């Protein structure tokens, strides 16, 4: 627990020490439920089932834009860090998770709005093992680890442009697939285990 808070506060203070430029920073809040589907079923929309455990996650992320319009194409790259609270629905004690990741975002301007597709890769340190991961490890006879690979896939749109309210522009409403895994044994000897969460979020650039 102390490790998570110390590292999160350090990264936050480093971010604020950087000269702020308009729209270079992002803040996101999100919430969602654990999924019974595999990661590939989620991003291909072939399985969006909620798990039977009733566990949830809530969190916030901050990001800094490293590159805008990569190679003059509509791709932005962000460095991000996040803190999540896992509600384990009484199965075990609730806990916190810290994520650090790099995210690539593709921007599509269409129908008077901006749609964004994002994919991220990084690491996750959870203060405890999520209940869904423990059950997966038991079923697969797999290892468990607090420190795992982190991935996410997102899709969002600009709420302000949708409802034609100028003050709401740069507020993006979206869908998030939040994923932890061992990347086939790369992290903690976890080969098949992990967890997935279906989430919704609001993100603001400033």
Phi, psi of 120 (to 5 degrees): -130, 155
Pairwise pLDDT comparison (89 vs 48), residue with the higher score: 89
pLDDT in tens, 168-184: 888 999 999 999 998 87
Greatest CA span in the chain, whole angstroms?
Answer: 53
pLDDT in tens, 112-167: 999 999 999 999 999 999 999 998 888 888 899 999 999 999 999 999 999 888 88
- Highest-scoring range by mean pLDDT, 29-38, 41-50, 73-82: 73-82
Mean pLDDT across the chain, nearest whole number?
85
Place of tokens 């279906």: 198
pTM: 0.84
SS (H, E, C) the chain: CHHHHHHHHHHHHHHHHCCCCCCCEEEEEEEEEEECCCHHHHHCCCCCCECCCCCEEEEEEEEEEEECCHHHCCEEEEEEEEEEEEECCCCCCCEEEEEEEEEEEEEEEECCEEEEEEEEEEEEEECCCCHHHHHHHHHHCCCCCCEEEEEEEEEEEEHHHHHCCHHHCCEEEEEEEEEEECCCCCCCCCCCCEEEEEEEEEEEEC
Ranges of each domain in the chain: 2-11+23-173+181-205
Closest by CA to 171, choosing from 142, 204, 126, is: 204
Second CATH level (architecture) for the domain 2-11+23-173+181-205: Beta Barrel (2.40)
């Amino acid at each position: 627990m102390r490790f998570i808070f110390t590292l999160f506060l350090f990264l936050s203070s480093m971010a604020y020490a950087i000269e702020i430029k308009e729209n270079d920073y992002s803040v996101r809040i999100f919430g969602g439920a654990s999924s019974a589907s595999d990661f590939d079923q989620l991003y291909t929309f072939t399985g969006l089932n909620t798990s039977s455990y009733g566990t949830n996650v809530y969190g916030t992320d901050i990001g800094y834009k490293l590159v805008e319009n990569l190679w003059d194409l509509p791709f932005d790259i962000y460095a991000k860090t996040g803190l999540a609270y896992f509600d384990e629905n009484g199965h075990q004690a609730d806990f916190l998770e810290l994520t650090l990741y790099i995210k690539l975002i593709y921007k599509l301007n269409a129908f008077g709005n901006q749609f964004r597709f994002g994919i991220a890769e990084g690491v996750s340190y959870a203060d405890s093992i999520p209940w869904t991961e423990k059950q997966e490890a038991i079923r697969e006879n797999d290892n468990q680890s607090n420190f795992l690979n982190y991935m996410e896939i997102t899709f969002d749109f600009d709420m302000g442009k949708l409802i034609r309210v100028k003050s709401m522009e740069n507020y993006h409403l979206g869908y998030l697939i939040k994923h932890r895994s061992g990347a086939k044994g790369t992290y903690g000897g976890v080969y098949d285990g992990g967890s997935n969460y279906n989430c919704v979020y609001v993100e603001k650039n400033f």
